Amino acid sequence: MKDFPARLLKCVKSALPKAGKTSLWLLKIILPVSLIVRFLQYSGVLSYLAEYMNPLFHFIGLPGETAIVFLTSIFLPLYASIAVMTSLTITLREATILSIMCLLAHNLLVESAVQKKTGSSFWWMCTLRIGMALIVAFALNLIMPLSNEHFEVVTQPEVFTSAMQVLNAWFNTSVTLIITIVFIVSALMILQKLLEEYNLFEVISRPLNPFMRFFGMSGRTSFLWIVGNVVGLAYGGAIMVEQTESGIISQKDANVLNHHLAISHSMLEDTLLYGALGISMGWILFTRMGFAFLVVWCLRLLDLPLVKKCTV
């Protein structure tokens, strides 16, 4: 271990340029999208679109007003949709179904862009996640016990009276987001370089091999599976892109992993976040893992051509 400082410095020097490049790429997507969506909320466009989704949401057992929560989640991270959801008066059963829908389809544009760079079709990932969110909601509406227990977390939504207030709010959140992305991406890239330096990928992957095979994935993707479930697709995208582009894992294996992570990722933070709101963590964990299992095995058994790599 005497040479650890020198090897650490070597890993840092190797990781930081790639971390900076990846952070910049993520921010070029996230910041414009978040600004556009804030103005869509402010102008009422999202509410207008949600009205047309009312019949669909009634069909899956949710009040029509919850459509705005789902639409918000598609374009932004979960905290935005939670802010909208907690402003509604709904039952705990409805909140559970709605939360799992948001977990499947949140931050869709950013995360699908990450998955495109790691071997999957952008448009197929978008279609898969939105489609599965609706299918899962329909299934949960059939099997969840009926209950009138109220969702207790009710807050006042953020209201803007001018375009300048929208810009100020976007700027404030963007500063925090930039710092967070640069810090997490840099830390993950340094960690990856250290694991490569000390040949620890195999040590981490070996115990997870049976689990990965059960879920239809290659053992080589074990480390990326851990990253995707601890920090999520957006923050973990740096390592996923690096390992795919460097050939550590094949695009085929990455594509299969992407189908699993499309349904079940960021399980640590997201589950704890919704659990703190009173949503059953059991429903979140078993629903997402169960449907991720089905999606991957359907992909492998049917070998669907639509899900293979394509240029968009």
Instruction: Read off the pLDDT of residues 191-221 as tens digits, 9 standing for 90 and up.
Output: 888 888 888 877 888 899 999 999 999 988 9
Task: State yes or no: pLDDT of 153 exceeds 80.
Answer: no
User: Can you tell me whether residue 150 is helix, strand or coil?
Assistant: strand
**Has this prediction a pTM greater than 0.75?**
yes
The stretch 106-124 carries a mean pLDDT of: 91
The stretch 116-129 carries a mean pLDDT of: 92
Q: pLDDT > 90: what percent of the chain?
A: 41
Task: State yes or no: pLDDT of 21 exceeds 50.
Answer: yes
Task: State yes or no: pLDDT of 155 exceeds 70.
Answer: no
The stretch 74-92 carries a mean pLDDT of: 88
Q: pLDDT > 70: what percent of the chain?
A: 95
Angle 88-93-96 (CA atoms, 0-180°, nearest 5)?
A: 80
pLDDT tens digit string along 159-191? Answer: 788 889 989 988 988 898 899 888 988 888 888
Which candidate, 122, 112, 119, places its Cα nearest to that of 247?
Answer: 119
The stretch 258-284 carries a mean pLDDT of: 92
Which candidate, 152, 169, 160, 159, places its Cα nearest to that of 86?
Answer: 152
Segment (H or E) for 51: helix 45-52
Query: Quick one: residue 213, left, alpha or beta (phi over 0 = left, psi -120 to 50 = alpha)?
Result: alpha
Residues in the chain: 312
Which candidate, 98, 131, 104, 70, places its Cα nearest to that of 267?
Answer: 104
| Predicted pLDDT of residue 44 | 85
Task: State yes or no: pLDDT of 305 exceeds 80.
Answer: no
The pair of three-digit structure tokens given for residue 163, joined into one six-digit string: 């375009």
| Predicted pLDDT of residue 134 | 96
The pair of three-digit structure tokens given for residue 254, joined into one six-digit string: 């990455």
| Predicted pLDDT of residue 143 | 95
Question: CA–CA separation, 31 vs 268, rounded Å?
Answer: 25
Number of Cβ within a 10 Å radius of residue 47? 14
Task: State yes or no: pLDDT of 29 exceeds 60.
Answer: yes
The stretch 145-171 carries a mean pLDDT of: 82
| Predicted pLDDT of residue 156 | 63
Q: Which amino acid is at 273?
A: L
Of the pLDDT bands very low, low, confident and very high (cuts 50, 70, 90), residue 312 is: very low
| Euclidean distance between the first and the last CA atom of the chain, given in angstroms as a whole number | 47
Of the pLDDT bands very low, low, confident and very high (cuts 50, 70, 90), residue 248 is: confident
Query: Angle formed by the axes of helices 78-85 and 267-276, to 10°?
Result: 20
- Burial of 19 from C-beta contacts in 10 A (0-12 / 13-18 / 19+): buried
| Predicted pLDDT of residue 38 | 83
- Burial of 2 from C-beta contacts in 10 A (0-12 / 13-18 / 19+): exposed
Query: Angle formed by the axes of helices 267-276 and 222-230, to 10°?
Result: 30
**C-beta of residue 96 within 8 angstroms of C-beta of residue 63:** no
